[in-house]
Structures are given as structure tokens and as C-alpha cells.
């Protein structure tokens, strides 16, 4: 206002300085026809290291989800094959057993859904940030 002129192009660095994990450079204050500022080699290497760490954690999460799916799946099949407990017998213990059987089924399904999303996340993050544009 009052003839201060145009803002300097370095203003976007001030905006983005609080977000160290961002990989995109905002084009809000860029003049038409100018290209965005390139990342340095060190920024690219730091982003790739963060990407590797995130994928490593995701693979461990997938491992534990598969382990949980396997264990609860075996438990659920074992309960289905085993003897039945009639409802209301043994002072309510059969009701608790049947409830635990239902919870086992729900846990197995939940771990299966978690495995699905872990695989989907691994597939979505398979390319390195250095190869993305």
C-alpha cells in the first residue's frame, strides 16, 4: 500500500520456512514465466532418508499386522473346529466364551483390513522422492 512496490520473491521462503518436511515449493508469489526454486542435493538426500525411514516403519507395521492376522486367524479356526458351548450353561461362562469367539472374529477381520491398507500404502510410496517431479 502507498507505493511500496511488489513483494520480493524471497517472501515464499519466509512462508515455507516453518515446514521443513514439505517437498513442494508454493507458486503463490511467483512472477509469471519463472520456474520454481530447485531443491538442493542435501534437501533431496534428507527427503530420501525420511522416505526410507517411513517405509521401514511401514514394513514393520505390515509384519506385525500379518502376525496378528495369522495368530487370530488360527485361533478363530481352532474355536470353530472345537466343541460348542451351549448358551447360558456353566453359570454364564459359555456366554463369555461365545462373546470371546465373536471378538476373535472381529480382531481377525480388523487385522486383515489393516494389512490391506499397509499394502496399499507401501504401493503408493514405492517411488523415491528424488525420482518424483
Helix 93-124 to helix 41-81 angle (10° resolution) is 150
Per-residue pLDDT of the chain (133 residues; tens, 9 = 90+): 555 655 555 545 555 455 555 555 555 666 777 877 777 778 777 888 887 888 889 999 999 999 999 999 999 999 889 888 877 777 878 888 888 889 999 999 999 999 999 999 888 877 776 676 5
pLDDT at 133: 59
- Gap between the Cα atoms of 105 and 79, Å rounded: 10
- Gap between the Cα atoms of 87 and 15, Å rounded: 64
Residue bearing cell 519463472? 34
- Gap between the Cα atoms of 27 and 31, Å rounded: 9
pLDDT at 117: 93
- Which of 12, 56, 6 is CA-nearest to residue 36? 12
Amino acid at each position: 500500500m502507498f507505493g511500496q512496490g511488489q513483494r520480493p520473491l524471497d517472501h515464499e521462503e519466509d512462508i515455507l520456512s516453518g515446514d521443513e518436511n514439505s517437498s513442494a515449493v508454493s507458486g503463490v508469489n511467483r512472477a509469471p514465466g519463472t520456474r520454481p526454486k530447485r531443491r538442493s542435493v542435501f534437501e533431496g538426500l534428507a527427503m530420501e532418508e525420511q522416505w526410507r525411514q517411513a517405509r521401514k516403519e511401514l514394513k514393520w507395521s505390515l509384519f506385525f499386522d500379518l502376525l496378528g492376522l495369522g495368530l487370530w486367524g488360527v485361533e478363530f479356526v481352532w474355536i470353530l473346529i472345537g466343541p460348542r458351548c451351549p448358551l447360558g450353561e456353566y453359570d454364564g461362562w459359555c456366554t463369555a466364551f461365545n462373546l470371546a469367539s465373536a471378538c476373535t472374529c472381529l480382531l481377525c477381520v480388523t487385522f486383515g483390513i489393516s494389512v490391506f491398507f499397509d499394502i496399499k500404502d507401501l504401493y503408493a510410496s514405492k517411488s523415491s522422492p528424488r525420482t518424483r517431479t
